[in-house]
Structure formats: C-alpha cells, structure tokens
C-alpha cells in the first residue's frame, strides 16, 4: 500500500524552504499532496488559484507530487484522500513550538494521522513567505529564495521599480 502524505500551508507564496520540504517528502513517500489551505479570514497577496498554479509549476518534475486546495480542515482533507501522514516544515525553534501545538491539535481531531516535521535546508531557515514579499517590496532580488515563476509574480505585484508613476 502506498503511503500518502499531505503537506498543507497557505503558500503565499511558495518559497525555496517549502520546496526543500517537498523534495524530502517526495523521496520518503509514495504520493505527496501539497495543499493550499485557503483561509477566507486571512488576506493573501496571491489568489488561491495563483498559489495552486505556482505550486503545480514548481512540483511538475516530481511525478509523485500533486497539488490541491481546500477551505476545510486539513485532517478532513487527509482522511478524504486516504492519507496517513501530515507533513510540516520547520525553520527553527519558534516554528517547532507552533508546529508542535498544531500537531497536538490535529492528533486530537484525527488520532489516526501522524505528523512528521521536516526541516528545510539550513541556508533556507530564515526564508519565509512574508520575508520574501518584504524583500521584493524593497526591490531586492529573491531568485535564490523561491522558484523562478514566484519571483516573477512577486516582482509584478510588489517591486516598486515596476510600479507606474501617478
């Protein structure tokens, strides 16, 4: 039986750190589903459709990785597709504390699901979606911190040098 793992997040936008987790997961599991978790109460820079499209492009070379989206609980999504593992990426101690609490909450809701923490590569530990957006807004190059299509999309939206003058 193939083990299905779910890696969920807002991915607004996907970063090189996220992709590090995806690469590790693709080696460990038969099928990895990267899920754009849509929170209607959270304001996102990119639409859910844009985030899904960027992720699909970024994972296209991994034959055992697919991308989906949900507005519901991740544990319900995981159950619906027959997953047995929830993946969480961690960058450091602050992430670990938050992620441990989330894993405990998920275990209370779905004890049959295991949570596995996968750290991003050390040089990506400080890369976050919000940090990526801030760098682009300052006009900085982010190509080392995200897939090329993400860098392009962020520059279109946020780079001050590309904004037209009033």
Q: Which residues are annotated as a binding site?
A: 10-11, 18, 42, 74, 88-91, 99, 124-130
Binding residues for ATP: 10-11, 18, 89-91, 99, 124-130
What Å distances lie between residue 137 and 8, 119, 147, CA to CA? 26, 27, 17
Q: Cite the DSSP H helix spans in the chain.
A: 16-28, 48-59, 74-81, 93-109, 129-137, 148-158
Active-site residue, 157 included: no
Which one from 31, 51, 91, 133 is the annotated catalytic residue? 91
CA 156 to the chain's CA centroid? 21
For the four alpha carbons of 138, 140, 145 and 149, in that order, the dihedral sign comes to positive
List residues bridging with 6 in a β-sheet.
33, 86
Rounded Cα gap, residues 56 and 32, in angstroms = 12
Which one from 129, 133, 135, 153 is the annotated catalytic residue? 129
Active-site residue, 129 included: yes
Binding residues for substrate: 10, 42, 74, 88
The residues annotated as belonging to the active site are 18, 42, 91, 129
């Amino acid at each position: 039986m193939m083990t299905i793992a779910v890696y969920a997040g807002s991915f607004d936008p996907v970063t090189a750190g996220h992709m590090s987790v995806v690469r590790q997961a693709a080696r460990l599991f038969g099928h990895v589903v990267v899920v754009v978790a849509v929170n209607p109460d959270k304001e996102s820079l990119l639409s859910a459709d844009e985030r899904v499209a960027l992720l699909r492009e970024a994972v296209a070379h991994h034959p055992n990785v697919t991308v989906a989206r949900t507005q519901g609980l991740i544990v319900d999504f995981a159950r619906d597709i027959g997953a047995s593992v929830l993946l969480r990426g961690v960058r450091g101690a602050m992430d670990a504390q938050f992620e441990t609490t989330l894993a405990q909450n998920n275990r209370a809701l779905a004890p049959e699901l295991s949570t596995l923490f996968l750290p991003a590569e050390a040089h990506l530990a400080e890369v976050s979606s919000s940090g990526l957006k801030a760098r682009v807004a300052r006009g900085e190059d982010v190509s080392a911190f995200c897939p090329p299509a993400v860098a392009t999309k962020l520059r279109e939206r946020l780079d001050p040098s590309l904004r037209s003058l009033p």
